[in-house]
Amino acid sequence: MDRRAFMKRSLAGAGTLALGGIAMNKTALGSGKLRKPNIVLFFVDDHTVETINAGGLCPNIKSLGETGITFDRAYVPHPECAASRMAILSGHCQTNSRRENYRNEIGSGRRDQISVEGQIWCFGGKITRDEWSMPKLLKLAGYNTFCCGKLKLLNGAKHEKDPWKRQQIYREVLKTYGWDDAGAITPGNLHMHKTEKGYMSTHNPEWRAQVTMEFIDKNKDKPFLCYIASNLLHAPSPYEQLKNANPRHACDDIILDKAPDVMPSRKSVIERVRKAGLDEHKFAPLLWLDDMVGAVLGKLDELGLRDNTMVALIQDNGHHGGKNSAFTGGHDVSPAFISWPAGTKNPGRHYKYPISSLDLIPTFMAAAGVKEPADAGLEGTSLLPVIKGQNEPVHINTYGEVGYTRWVVTEKWHYIAFRVPISRQLTEQEKQVRREAIAEAIKKGDTEKAELLKSLGDRVGQVGRSVMTKPKNGLKAHPKHFLDRDQLYDLDNDPDEQNNLAYDPKYKEVLHDMKKLMREECLRRPGTFAEFKTVDDCSPRWQKMVAQAKKKADAEGIKYGYPPIKDYYAPWQT
């Protein structure tokens, strides 16, 4: 079925797909008085958009929508932190990772990245030094590049006891990934860092604002990229640290000589939230983050750069009813924002069609006038036409993956395909033990026992990760269809995804079309995925790898393949 026919029947009036771009005005492309736009990307952490949607106080973040575009259907391709960060910086999904163990290693072990069947298990992820990335691509247009905050691509520098020297090591490592400068770096989640001096990883958005503003000051005469990856609103408790932490304390045992004076006081954050009549425990951390955004915007204003700076803000993963899961609660990060006053037509608009975080690199490149290198492997689509006034879909669907699960989302429908290869399957007894134990633990509110899958063995852990890494998140929100092999949800009428329509004959045609979209997505990426992409669809090199893995599995007595499914059909074969 062609795309136009699909749009007409299944997307409920989404309109004509726009594949082309629109010409930019002279000031936007720098052919007039203005140069190429500066680019600032805020990549925020857990709970941010959920708190915004709950009525949180965030005037600076909301100003991005007022001076630009609010994206009401924003998604990420991975519902967990590390993989989502890899994707936004590389422009591709985890299955397209350049890491060697995603390309050359097939094994029968439960922890091997690629199964005997040739299917990639998706979790975590890091970009490599030798691939294209956001900073490297923008450097082609002469941009100076800067990053700060949470970067999962680092392995840390634990051998160095001096925290300031560790920061310098991070900076030198990041140069090999395309970053000219960096500051206030955290290798990962703050609450996971226990160093020589003990527990000293503390939220300090003031420090991150300060180092970003210093970079902007030094590079104001040349186009720049700033990537600001805040740990807010992730654990450790932002509220407790906002209220009680020493403002000189920061991440990784850092103690600043002087508390940064670039944002409103921490005390004023709580006072403003109270004045607004909001719960300070829930809403003060958002305003604290918002003050950081405001400080950076203020520096741009001060230097006369704000008008020609494209500022984007998006969250790393969803956190409402299914973080780490294929349900939309894990990968819906709406709203997202892009504000570029000099290049935006009719600012203040809301865009209702699905977009992906993978679209940001193509958008930045289009604004900067960068032509995509042939080997960049970008999977997204530029949103520049939307910024310039288009109000039609740039995608038929977005795509995502976690564990052995893949999904596609259109304007109306969400289809999830859960395909665990036989070589990675649980026995029926193991499945039942896991279901009963986790369900009982959730019922009793026993979170420790809900982590039972980790202690039951690798096979259980792997299948747990096929849908999510922490089953309590998705299982609690979706107990009825948690392990359904095919799942189809009507997002208009069932936004909480409680009614799986995949096995309802009335929706057979919709399921048929969504499966076609899934196959198209799988064919774009390495690896097999059950009926959607078989070994015969893979490259000769991949076919050879799978053949060798099967030969080894036969010698070891390991079964492989996929279980037979009643009433199965592959719509592209009909």
Q: Using one digit for the tens of pLDDT, what is the confidence trace for 407-426?
A: 999 999 999 998 888 887 76
Distance CA 184, CA 571 (A): 51
**What's this model's pTM, rounded to 2 decimal places?**
0.87
Task: Summarize pLDDT for 37-65 with one digit per residue, the tens.
Answer: 999 999 998 888 889 989 999 999 999 99
Task: Summarize pLDDT for 339-376 with one digit per residue, the tens.
Answer: 999 999 999 999 999 999 999 999 999 999 999 999 99
Q: Can you give the pLDDT at residue 427? A: 62
Higher pLDDT, 325 or 552: 552
Q: Can you give the pLDDT at residue 103? A: 56
Mean pLDDT, the chain, integer: 83
Residue 502: partners with Cβ closer than 8 Å, 6 or more residues away: 415, 484, 486, 487, 488, 511
Work out the pLDDT band at 195, boundaries 50, 70, 90: low
Question: Of 2-16, 60-74, 310-324, which range is least confident?
Answer: 2-16
Q: Can you give the pLDDT at residue 449? A: 57
Q: What is the mean pLDDT of residues 101-120?
A: 67
Q: What is the mean pLDDT of residues 124-148?
A: 93
Contact of 463 with 423, CB cutoff 8 Å: no
Q: Can you give the pLDDT at residue 431? A: 66
Residue 489 CA from chain centroid, whole number? 21
Distance CA 214, CA 65 (A): 26
CATH number of this structure's domain 35-91+133-401, picked from the four choices 3.40.50.300, 3.40.720.10, 3.30.360.10, 3.30.565.10: 3.40.720.10
Q: What is the mean pLDDT of residues 439-454?
A: 65
Pick from 79, 125, 115, 81: nearest CA to 459: 115
Q: Can you give the pLDDT at residue 15? A: 32
Q: Can you give the pLDDT at residue 459? A: 37
pLDDT over threshold 90, residue 199:
no
Contact of 250 with 202, CB cutoff 8 Å: yes
Burial profile 247-274: b = 16 or more Cβ within 10 angstroms, e = fewer = bbbbbbbbebeebbebbbebeebbebbe
pLDDT over threshold 70, residue 444:
yes
Sign of the Cα torsion 50, 54, 59, 63 reads: positive
Task: Summarize pLDDT for 305-325 with one digit per residue, the tens.
Answer: 999 999 999 999 887 766 778
Per cent of the chain over pLDDT 70 is: 80
Question: Of 28-37, 63-72, 422-431, which range is least confident?
Answer: 28-37
Residue 144: partners with Cβ closer than 8 Å, 6 or more residues away: 180, 181, 219, 222, 223, 224, 225
Work out the pLDDT band at 205, boundaries 50, 70, 90: very high
SS3 content of the chain, % helix, strand, coil (to 5): 40, 15, 45
Work out the pLDDT band at 563, boundaries 50, 70, 90: confident
Q: Can you give the pLDDT at residue 111? A: 45
Work out the pLDDT band at 13, boundaries 50, 70, 90: very low
Q: Where are the domains of the chain?
A: 35-91+133-401, 404-427+461-573
Q: Can you give the pLDDT at residue 121? A: 84
Q: Can you give the pLDDT at residue 181? A: 97
Per cent of the chain over pLDDT 90 is: 58
